[in-house]
Structure 1
């Protein structure tokens, strides 16, 4: 994955924001707008690589590992709620001297992007969300049903658990060699306690109508029709709360459009940005 990032011109860097050091990919394109790509829970910055590849020509790209994910350590104050994460993101952007950015986030990253856009509206030029967390769905997803039964698929004990979770997360997963899958599974198992702590900090929290009312910028909402982690019935509530949003549903796609269909989902995003 590091080699793939390097081939795309993405360079790994670090930024000290005081309480911790954020690890990130950076694609420099001076004079162009900056896109900030935020991954979801238990993922890391590499999940955006093939999506980001499609956007290099006209944009600068910033892809951080969020606290407790990838190469960014667990936050010292052990608070990974979305408001606290938004404060860290604001510090991160200030450290890099980026006063205004376009935000795109998937799942937990979409939740974070929305909270940030609500609390720091002057810094956000547009907001794009792929299968975001943060609002309830009328129909409980497979993930929600399992969590309510005390069986959190993110907290895995062995490779069989990981295989079930992997099938749950994507409807059209890219090819990944078996050896790499086992490596990813081992990382999940090693981080089980850490992931449980982060999950508890944000899973049951929800965006409020007051927060969403602060968002005035253009919004793109993309959803995988076959998402089993956050059911597509949540779309109706997003539309109700953000009437200005543009909606794109990807038929037969699961929770990770940027990974399942990177070129198609990036094309949709690029067209949205061109209209902003």
Structure 2
């Protein structure tokens, strides 16, 4: 269905828009994401994050417990759309574009470490009138979620850390080995670099036409200096290895065993350090389970969250 939707959108744009390659792939991508947001009841709006306005997607039940979803480094809010649709019938859902990412944009005057990013999320919660929330983060977003759970436990109902950065992995990932040689796979100057990098992000990537992938590659190339700055600000900065025992909120650690960016060996570090931590490992998935298998991973997170709420598991 998603493939047909994207093909249909691509055809429509091709008829109505005069564009150069691969801009057409970008138009198709944006129209498809907009259609899916509408389909799943997610509306775009901005909220004050303290030192920058954060663009968000919001939906679900306004007076229900809040669930906040935080993307990883170089990603944006749209990676959560197909995952988030499983939450909107019983939760208030907020998906953020972090500073430096997506439609929120980059400001060279800002800091991009996880403490600064978590402060922006907390400020947005205050502006939205959210006293406490379940928080879900992937990769760098998982690091930010863990930082919130550690620094502001009174505001966090539960934390779900999906392939989270933020601790030292006992075994290096593919990316870790590249970084040790001075190569950052996120930073490249041509499309060939993107096509070396992209398979590292997921073991089961959703289908996209090559024109859209070329457009995404060009966005990475255009943002190379910004991405380098963000990476330097947060990567291996203020790791949580020695603070895990201080995290006292209910925590689920979820991982794709085929992750090439953050080694699955880090999952045990999180759960050995956090009291009562629960763990789910997907043998067939990579770095982004919520995008590779949105229904399966959403149901596992819902079961965890609803256990904290003392309610029956979702039947969806």
Relative contact order, higher structure (CA 8 A, sep 6+):
1
**TM-score for both structures, normalised by structure 1:** 0.96
2:233 corresponds in structure 1 to 201
1:36 corresponds in structure 2 to 68
Contact 1:137–1:237 (CA under 8 A) maintained in structure 2: yes
Give how far 1:6 is off.
1.5
Contact 1:23–1:72 (CA under 8 A) maintained in structure 2: yes
Task: Return the match for 1:54 from 82, 86, 92.
Answer: 86
Runs of 4+ that moved beyond 6 A = none
2:215 corresponds in structure 1 to 183
* Equivalent position SS for 2:94: strand
Cα distance in 2 between the residues matched to 1:107 and 1:86: 14
Where structure 2 has 5 or more consecutive residues not aligned to the other structure, the ranges are 1-32, 309-316
Cα distance in 2 between the residues matched to 1:165 and 1:243: 35
> Judging changes above 3 Å, is the alpha-carbon distance between structure 1 residues 46 and 184 closer, same or farther for their aligned structure 2 residues?
same
Where structure 1 has 5 or more consecutive residues not aligned to the other structure, the ranges are none
Give how far 1:210 is off.
5.4
Q: 1:163-182 to 2 correspondence within 5 Å?
A: 163-182=195-214
Cα distance in 2 between the residues matched to 1:230 and 1:66: 20
Give how far 1:207 is off.
2.9
Task: Return the match for 1:104 from 136, 153, 176.
Answer: 136
Contact 1:37–1:103 (CA under 8 A) maintained in structure 2: yes
Contact 1:21–1:72 (CA under 8 A) maintained in structure 2: yes
Task: Return the match for 2:181 from 136, 145, 149.
Answer: 149
1:15 aligned onto 2:47: yes
**TM-score for both structures, normalised by structure 2:** 0.84
Cα distance in 1 between the residues matched to 2:290 and 2:198: 15
Larger-gyration structure (1/2): 2
Question: How many residues of Structure 1 are paired with residues of Structure 2 in the alignment?
Answer: 276
2:102 corresponds in structure 1 to 70
